[in-house]
Amino acid sequence: MDLSKLKQIDEWLWTVPRVPGEARGEVKMYGSRALLETMDDKVIEQITNVARLPGLVGPAMTMPDAHWGYGFPIGGVAAFDPEQGGIISAGGVGFDISCGIRCLRTNLELAEVAGELPSLARELSEKIPAGVGEEGDIKLAPDALDDVLTGGAQWAVEQGYGSAADLEFIEEGGRVAGPVPQNVSPLAKKRQRGEMGTLGSGNHYLEVQVVDRIYDAAAAQAYGLREGQLLVSIHCGSRGLGHQIGTDYLVSLAKAASRLGIHLPDRELACAPINTPEGQQYIGAMNAAINCALANRQILTHLTRKCFTRLLPRATLETLFDVSHNTCKREQHVVKGTKRLLYVHRKGATRAFGPGHPALPERYRATGQPVVIGGSMGTGSWILAGTATSETQAFSSASHGAGRAMSRKQALKQWHGRQLVDELARQGILIRTRSMRGVAEEAPGAYKDVDAVAEATERAGLARRVAFLRPKVCVKG
């Protein structure tokens, strides 16, 4: 990225200066100089375009892991007020609606089960459907799927996948309000028929991790973390249903925008005012997809538990937290001293409520929301805690992952999947996949430095570091 286009506010915050007469909102870009230098100039173009959308409240922002996306950049955050003509954008949510991470804490220590990890890797790779073309055992007819879309993880628990104790530690108690299954196309429902309880492919994964280092002892205690403990992170979303909703509405909203009087700087920002039938129709469909994703991760949690207890009967896996990072959510925020109900787009960005937020479960209320910055097979992940400053700076938002630094095409030129798998095995990380090409595209070196992202996230005041997790087993889609 050409940093001469930016103005540095402080070590961790930058802005894109407005030219005289330019009618757009403010832009804030979080991150260190080194992180921003790795970003494509397209990130500036995309977030500046977001700042031109109607009804924007506060700045359009990018998180430290931002990279070039479609519509919004990945790592983009923007809030809109429906009472001021604010919009909802399908390109601001993404195709993989409610993609997110379910993090489970186990009662196991790495030292005591290290010898079992190869068996566990085999069991997980055999029992967790992963990769393009892989279906799950649960086949739902479109009518039955409507119950998933309205019930979310609560539906899954009612079906016997996991326990009610999980629900307290999922955003919105495992079920977001306002789903409208009728707004989901028949093709979207058909695409989901065999995809409940599947991981998907690309950057999705199921990872067994060890708590390598605690950075905040009090927060770690609240989260039930200790060094040497095994955790599991499941990264996936709403699968085919969400993808089809994304494609359906990206086109229909792009067509609707001009009819609704919205001038789009780029039609990939396809959107509609929130308070229009078109906007409400997408919101109903998106909420249905969020529930689908929550149910999917709940089923995968159940399958993961079965794998663990089959090999390690004394294992327990409790839900630490489940957080989505491709959503638009209706939230109350204080803007210039006034409480306002806003629609906050987070595309490749995690919600990060600070201490005391009423939406947090009692156990975490004094600490702040667990935030997961997912890694890239070889480089580890971070657990952070939401901060009060994130509310004032970024509508309680933080980074969601390492963020790509290199295209898939470039990665394929640099790495071979088999060599990577062997190299990671030498480092004590077991990769299980059906796609060596996918492993090469997802090479750890194709991502930004996740440690730098976590540090920038903390230094910018978006969330504070609690623990660093090192991967031990990774099932890749």
Partner 1 sequence: MAPIASAVPPAVAGEGPLMSALRSIAPSGEDYFEHDADIGVVGRGATLEESFESAAAATFGVMADLSAVRPQRSVTLDFEEADVEIALVRWLNLLLGLSHEDGLVFCRFWIERDGVHWRGGASGEPWRRDLERGVEVKGATLTMLQVKQERDGWQARCVVDV
Catalogue the active-site residues. 400
Measure the CA–CA gap between 209 and 230, rounded to whole angstroms. Answer: 6
Taking the C-alpha atoms of 194, 195, 201 and 202 in order, what is their torsion angle to the nearest 10 degrees?
130
144 interacts with partner 1 by CB under 8 A: no
21 interacts with partner 1 by CB under 8 A: no
Output 151 or 240, the one with its CB closest to partner 1.
Answer: 240
Centre a 10 Å sphere on the Cβ of residue 23 and count the other Cβ atoms it contains.
7
Instruction: Build a one-symbol-per-residue string for 106-135: x at contacts with partner 1 by CB under 8 A, - elsewhere.
Output: -------------------------xxxxx
- DSSP annotation of 261: T
**Interface stretch with partner 1, choices 80-88, 169-177, 241-249, 377-385 (CB under 8 A):** 241-249
Task: Write out the binding residues for partner 1, residues 399-418 only, by CB under 8 A.
Answer: 404, 406-410
Output 189 or 351, the one with its CB closest to partner 1.
Answer: 189
Measure the CA–CA gap between 423 and 469, rounded to whole angstroms. Answer: 19
Q: Quick one: which of 240, 354, 374, 378 contacts partner 1 (CB under 8 A)?
A: 240
365 interacts with partner 1 by CB under 8 A: no
Q: Quick one: which of 6, 140, 144, 187 contacts partner 1 (CB under 8 A)?
A: 187
**Interface stretch with partner 1, choices 29-37, 211-219, 240-248, 372-380 (CB under 8 A):** 240-248
| Burial of residue 4, with CB atoms counted within 10 A of its CB: 0-12 exposed, 13-18 middle, 19 or more buried | exposed
Q: Quick one: which of 14, 30, 80, 95 contacts partner 1 (CB under 8 A)?
A: 95
96 interacts with partner 1 by CB under 8 A: yes
Output 91 or 152, the one with its CB closest to partner 1.
Answer: 91
Taking the complex as a whole, how short is the minimal distance between the CB of residue 242 and partner 1, in angstroms?
Answer: 8
Q: Quick one: which of 174, 246, 354, 375 contacts partner 1 (CB under 8 A)?
A: 246
b/e sequence 276-312, b meaning 16+ C-beta within 10 Å: bebbbbbbbbbbbbbbbbbbbbbbbbbbbbebbeeeb
317-324 and 381-386 strand pairing: unpaired
Measure the CA–CA gap between 316 and 246, rounded to whole angstroms. Answer: 36
Positive or negative CA dihedral for 57, 244, 439, 126?
Answer: positive
Residue whose structure tokens are 């295209």: 407
Taking the complex as a whole, how short is the minimal distance between the CB of residue 132 and partner 1, in angstroms?
Answer: 4
Q: Quick one: which of 267, 333, 365, 416 contacts partner 1 (CB under 8 A)?
A: 267
255 contact partners, CB below 8 Å, separation of at least 6:
none
Structure tokens at 344: 């906050």
Applying CB under 8 A, the residues found at the interface with partner 1 are: 40, 42, 67-71, 74, 91, 94-96, 131-135, 187-188, 190-191, 193-195, 200-202, 240, 243-244, 246-248, 250-251, 254-255, 267-268, 270, 404, 406-410, 434-438, 441, 477
